[in-house]
Amino acid sequence: AQRVTQPEKLLSVFKGAPVELKCNYSYSGSPELFWYVQYSRQRLQLLLRHISRESIKGFTADLNKGETSFHLKKPFAQEEDSAMYYCALGNFNKFYFGSGTKLNVKP
């Protein structure tokens, strides 16, 4: 069963526009959710965790248990945000990644 769904393979926005990368999950219980990012020619790295409730590089993500979603948002996209974004779910000793969304921020 697919645990993490990212419905958009590619999302293109203009610089300064708001951006929302969608993530839905299927899990009964209290999952831990993460967003990982991979910039061009760099390693996969953690962007943020839902437990921390923090804003990193202007990005935020709210866990909505009713809708089983953990969408990533930024009010004003920057060109340097262009990257591959992966939503991930952690359950005890298992991790499930979504298939990723490529964000392209156009000048």
Partner 1 sequence: EAGVAQSPRYKIIEKRQSVAFWCNPISGHATLYWYQQILGQGPKLLIQFQNNGVVDDSQLPKDRFSAERLKGVDSTLKIQPAKLEDSAVYLCASSLGTSGGLKTQYFGPGTRLLVL
Judged by the rule CB under 8 A, the positions of this chain that interact with partner 1 are 4, 6, 32, 43-46, 49, 51-52, 86, 88, 90, 93-100
Helix, strand, or coil (residue 49) = strand
Question: Which sign does the torsion angle of CA 46, 16, 68, 61 carry?
Answer: positive
- Cβ 83 to partner 1, closest distance in Å? 14
Measured CA to CA, the distance from residue 98 to residue 72 in angstroms comes to 13
- Cβ 93 to partner 1, closest distance in Å? 5
- Cβ 58 to partner 1, closest distance in Å? 20
Rank residues 39 and 76 by Cβ distance to partner 1 and give the closer one. Answer: 39
Measured CA to CA, the distance from residue 102 to residue 13 in angstroms comes to 11
Query: What is the CA 6 to chain-centroid distance, rounded?
Result: 8
Rank residues 30 and 66 by Cβ distance to partner 1 and give the closer one. Answer: 30
- C-alpha neighbours within 13 Å on the C-beta side of residue 31: 25
Rank residues 77 and 87 by Cβ distance to partner 1 and give the closer one. Answer: 87
- Cβ 76 to partner 1, closest distance in Å? 27
